[in-house]
């Protein structure tokens, strides 16, 4: 299950591992609704797949997060299925950095480094996303795990053209319009785009390794 089109494309090799790639959209509620539909249809294994904000200052763009548990916004913990997680770890390609630290949930993009520092101090998490806690809440009766690749490291601040006034992510067309008004953010946006491509390459590398690996 992936939120964004590029994330879903990076997961395509998982079809050879028996996974159906489903795009749920951004946010906890959309992810939860998609997971509920999958579980109701008989799905018994869920893998959350995509990108994340980095919270651990040691993790650069492209580092993979394979956490043992997810910390919801209310502070509750949701452990992943240990067998599915071991399957993921066994397939990790050599040379890819990974962290097993918890993954935190956030309701909106973490625009600034101060927001990331605050969330890390509260949760001890290595990264944060907006979907996994929703999947965890809906996964009763199904095993689940999560893989996230860091896009923006802990010390980065997102360009304001990426985040609108309500704290939501802008669509690509709206980013272009916002950039016309703030051309000074072009360099920061290009840096973010390169980091996103690097994160997707890490995901694609793991997906291929998983597709080629023998089942444990």
Kindly state the average pLDDT of the residues 17-42: 91
Residue 61: pLDDT over 70? yes
3-state helix, strand, coil in the chain (%, to 5): 45, 20, 40
Interval 199-212: pLDDT, tens: 999 999 999 999 99
Residues in the chain: 216
Q: Give the mean pLDDT of 167-181.
A: 70
Q: Which CATH code is given to the segment(s) 5-157+199-212?
A: 3.40.50.1580
pLDDT band at 123 (very low <50, low <70, confident <90, very high): very high
The full set of domain ranges for the chain reads 5-157+199-212
Indicate if the pLDDT at residue 177 is higher than 60: yes
More confident residue, 164 or 14: 14
Which band of pLDDT confidence, cut at 50, 70 and 90, is reported for residue 213? confident
pLDDT score, position 104: 97
At residue 216, the pLDDT reads: 55
Instruction: Give residue 147's pLDDT.
Output: 97
The pLDDT, as a whole number, for residue 189 is: 87
CA-based torsion, 87, 214, 63, 149: positive or negative: negative
Q: What is each CA distance from 193 to 22, 53, 138, 152, in whole angstroms?
A: 23, 14, 32, 10
- pLDDT at 167 > cutoff 70: no
Residue whose C-alpha is closest to residue 91's, from 35, 152, 23, 145: 145
User: pLDDT at position 165, please?
Assistant: 59
Look at residue 67 and tell me whether its pLDDT is greater than 70: yes
Distance of alpha carbon 70 from the chain centroid: 12
Q: Is 69 helix (H, G, I), strand (E, B) or coil?
A: strand
Tens of pLDDT, residue by residue over 69-107, are 999 988 899 999 999 999 999 999 999 999 999 999 998
Cα(192)–Cα(197) distance, integer angstroms: 9
């Amino acid at each position: 299950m992936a939120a964004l089109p590029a994330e879903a494309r990076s997961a395509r090799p998982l079809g050879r591992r028996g996974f159906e790639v489903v795009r749920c959209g951004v946010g906890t509620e959309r992810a939860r609704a998609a997971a509920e539909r999958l579980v109701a249809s008989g799905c018994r294994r869920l893998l959350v797949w995509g990108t994340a904000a980095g919270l651990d200052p040691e993790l650069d763009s492209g580092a993979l997060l394979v956490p043992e548990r997810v910390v919801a916004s209310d502070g509750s913990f949701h452990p992943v299925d240990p067998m599915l997680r071991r399957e993921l770890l066994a397939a990790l390609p050599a040379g890819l950095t990974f962290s097993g630290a918890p993954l935190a949930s956030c309701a909106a993009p973490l625009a600034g480094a101060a927001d990331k520092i605050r969330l890390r101090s509260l949760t001890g998490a290595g990264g944060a996303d907006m979907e996994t806690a929703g999947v965890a809440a809906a996964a009763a009766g199904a095993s689940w795990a999560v893989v996230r690749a860091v896009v923006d490291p802990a010390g980065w601040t997102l360009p304001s053209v990426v985040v609108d006034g309500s704290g939501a992510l802008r669509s690509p067309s709206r980013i272009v319009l916002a950039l016309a008004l703030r051309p000074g953010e072009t360099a920061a946006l290009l840096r973010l785009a390169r980091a996103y491509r690097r994160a997707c390459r890490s995901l694609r590398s793991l997906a291929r390794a998983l597709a080629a690996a023998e089942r444990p």
